[in-house]
Amino acid sequence: MHLSFGTKPSLANRQAMKRITLLAITALLGTFSYGQIQVDYQTAEEAVSQLLGPGVSATNIQFTGAAVQLGLMYGAEGLVFEPDSGVVLSCADVNNIVLPGGAEDVPFGEGVSGDPDLLDIANSVPPLIGQNFSVSAVNDLAILEFDFVPSGDSLSFNYSFGSDEYLTWVNSSFNDIFAFFLSGPGLVGPYAAPAEFPDGAVNIASVPESDPLLPITISSVNNVLNQEYYIDNPTNQEIAINGYTVQFTASAQVQCGETYHIKLAIADGSDTALESIVVIEAGSFQSPSTISASVPNAPPTLPELTMLEGCVDGVFTVFRPNTEAADTLYLEIGGSADEIDDFLELPDFIVFPDNELTFEIPVTTIFDGVDEGLEDITLTYNYVNACGDPDTVLAVLNILNYNEPTLDFPEELFLCDGATQNVSGLPEGGFAPFTYNWSTGDFGSNISVSGGGPEIISLSIEDFCESIVEDSFAVRIPDPFIVIPEFELCFGETTSSSTAGGATPYQYFYNTDSLELNGNNFTPLFEGEYEVTVVDACGETGTIFITSWFCETTFPNVFSPNQDGKNDLFIIDGLQGFPGSDLFVYNRWGGLVYEGLNYQNNWDGGEVADGTYYWVLNRADGRTYNGECTILRK
């Protein structure tokens, strides 16, 4: 499809051209990327509260246009597009800047057309740039206006312009236009203003250092004309706008304490397709003679105006109250943070260099390893403002506690052979974003580990503050699973350990009414034959057969209690089956030398001399046995 400049294509055709172009580019270059940009709709009052910075108060707030044409953009930190956050005025739905293709138009019947001043500004551009096109109408107007009172002698705010008309419709009748109409004491201009401001309004949005002043449109700032102010974006990277300007500053001299009116307006030129936007930086609409706080190079996860202890520092910028003010300004430092302990000492006065209107005070935080919660630093000064009135201004920076990252892996990770497990490397403490360097070559926060993989896996993590933490763990496959298959016991005896190796914990399946389990050992509660099934944590199984019967008691005729670990005790085999049996031992003269009630096979001869002794066993079943036994210690 080819359309020559000056020919008015249908709305559907112009929108279709954008979608086709974007789809083609996407196919060649991959998917769109919009960083973290988000947009919320705003009421007029909400939008103005976002715009206002220090030294300005606002009243009589109005918005003209569809509700979807006014919003708050945020989340652009670290992107090419500036500002990071700001109020959006759009010729279409403000959410188009995060929607590939820009499909959301002003709802039918809600569009506003016609503004003679905007139309005049749009048609003032062609002769200034050597062109002869003209704009027939201004449509889809979005106008935010309010009265304000400055506390200083100047006004400034930051903004950027972007458009989906770039670059196809440069130097054509589709020359979308915006303007900032300012009216009030000391200003005389050609544009309409409220009745309270009879001297008219001036447009304070123009190409920097242009003479005569050149309004900003796609035809006056692009890849050919004033290209130093233009950023081409045909693939809609980071923000869904085909091209946009760098961030500009609008400014004007004002009179302190007087009432002014500002009208921020944008419109489609000649048609209602392919929106343009202007984004005004949040908090930048201000009348200096104050203090501002900022945190340069902060990570996106750090709250606004918040420093990170020992890692992210801030800046107080002090504005000279007025050009006649003294060079020396006295400051008061306060807040919950402790000077010296939490941040390096700040000056209690500053001296402005000649002809300088601002003075930057760096704030360097200190890591103290103490968790003190969120603290703040305040900087205050008292002065006589440009209105001649006493005034006090204050700025605040917060300090967030920083904890060094820690990483604590278990020493070993047991995995069944061939099994896999996800291992998280997320540290405790530290501050995102984190950089992960696994010995396996992975770079994410998690890895999948397989049984039979590398024996030792290590991880090194570096956080935003360049703190590094390292740890490692061993990957182990369990030893072979061993089950002793058979035990034959006298009643009352306990098996030795029945299982070994494999992966713990083990599960045992058995008749709990007949067997008692202690650790890995079984004690039969009755005579009989029993079967036990054991399963380890990897699913390996084994079977144990246990046979228990009453054994006849047999008696030793000699034992040697010399503590060599062999035959040191008077042990009666089979006694386990007769709990409650009593043993009595006598010397040759009939003297009782040992009495063991409920004997437990634990007599070691005590202190009796070597020789022959006589014993009597009253077995628990009522039978009595006797005999003799010799003690030999040597």
Residues with Cβ < 8 Å from 33, sequence gap 6 or more?
A: 237, 238
Q: Please, are residues 318 and 291 in contact by the beta-carbon 8 Å criterion?
A: yes
| β-strands 558-559, 582-586 pairing | unpaired
Q: Do domains 291-400 and 482-549 have the same CATH topology?
A: yes
Query: CA–CA separation, 91 vs 106, rounded Å?
Result: 7
Q: Please, are residues 86 and 79 in contact by the beta-carbon 8 Å criterion?
A: no
416 versus 602: the higher-pLDDT residue is: 602
Residue 124 CA, chain-centre distance (Å), reads: 49
Per-residue tokens: 242: 């085909």
Instruction: Give the pLDDT mean for 329-346.
Output: 92
Q: Please, are residues 430 and 403 in contact by the beta-carbon 8 Å criterion?
A: yes
The amino acid sitting at 489 is L
CA 607 → CA 566, 583, 584, distances in Å? Answer: 18, 17, 16
CATH architecture of 558-631: Sandwich (2.60)
Q: Please, are residues 108 and 236 in contact by the beta-carbon 8 Å criterion?
A: no
Could you report the per-residue pLDDT of 71-88, keeping only the tens digit for each? 999 988 878 888 989 999
Q: Please, are residues 266 and 106 in contact by the beta-carbon 8 Å criterion?
A: no
**pLDDT confidence band for 196 (50 / 70 / 90):** very high
Reply yes or no on whether the pLDDT at 105 is more than 80.
no
The amino acid sitting at 261 is H
Q: For 191, which DSSP code?
A: B
Query: CA–CA separation, 383 vs 532, rounded Å?
Result: 90
Omega before 83 within 30 of 0, i.e. cis: yes
Instruction: Give the pLDDT mean for 533-548.
Output: 93
The amino acid sitting at 341 is D
- Angle, CA of 389, 390 and 395, to the nearest 5°: 120
Q: What is the pLDDT of residue 27?
A: 36
Reply yes or no on whether the pLDDT at 29 is more than 50.
no
Percent of the chain with pLDDT over 90: 57
Could you report the per-residue pLDDT of 263-273, keeping only the tens digit for each? 999 999 888 88
Cβ atoms within 10 Å of 495's Cβ, excluding its own: 22
What's the CATH class of domain 291-400? mainly beta
Q: How many helices (H) and strands (E) does the chain have?
A: 3, 41
Reply yes or no on whether the pLDDT at 308 is more than 70.
yes
Residues with Cβ < 8 Å from 202, sequence gap 6 or more?
A: 181, 182, 183, 187, 188, 189, 190, 191, 252
What's the CATH class of domain 482-549? mainly beta
Q: Please, are residues 403 and 429 in contact by the beta-carbon 8 Å criterion?
A: yes
Mean pLDDT score of the chain: 87
Beta bridge partners of 627: 615
Q: Please identify which residue in the block is written with the tokens 């202890």.
A: 309
Q: Please, what sign has the CA dihedral across residues 442, 446, 450, 452?
A: positive
Q: Please, are residues 72 and 282 in contact by the beta-carbon 8 Å criterion?
A: yes
Residues with Cβ < 8 Å from 227, sequence gap 6 or more?
A: none
Give the predicted TM-score (pTM) of the model. Answer: 0.54
Query: CA–CA separation, 332 vs 47, rounded Å?
Result: 32
Per-residue tokens: 487: 């035990």
Could you report the per-residue pLDDT of 476-523, keeping only the tens digit for each? 888 889 999 999 888 878 898 889 988 888 999 999 899 999 988 999
| Burial call 230-249: b when 16+ CB within 10 Å, e when fewer | bbebebbebbbbbbbbebbe
Q: What is the pLDDT of residue 302?
A: 87
Omega before 433 within 30 of 0, i.e. cis: yes
- Return the SS3 of 15: helix
Residue 398 CA, chain-centre distance (Å), reads: 19
Extract long-range pairs of 310-313: CB within 8 Å, 24+ residues apart.
310/365, 310/366, 310/367, 310/368, 310/402, 310/465, 311/365, 311/367, 311/402, 311/431, 311/464, 311/465, 312/365, 312/464, 312/465, 313/362, 313/363, 313/364, 313/365
Query: CA–CA separation, 502 vs 626, rounded Å?
Result: 49
Q: What is the pLDDT of residue 1?
A: 23
Could you report the per-residue pLDDT of 211-245, keeping only the tens digit for each? 899 999 999 999 999 999 999 999 888 898 999 99
Percent of the chain with pLDDT over 70: 91
Instruction: Give the pLDDT mean for 102-112.
Output: 75
Instruction: Give the pLDDT mean for 355-381.
Output: 90
User: Any alpha helices (H) in 8-114, and if so which ranges?
Assistant: 11-29, 44-51
Q: What is the pLDDT of residue 450?
A: 85
| Domain residue extents for the chain | 11-281, 291-400, 412-476, 482-549, 558-631
User: Any alpha helices (H) in 30-115, and if so which ranges?
Assistant: 44-51
Q: Please identify which residue in the block is written with the tokens 């939008």.
A: 47
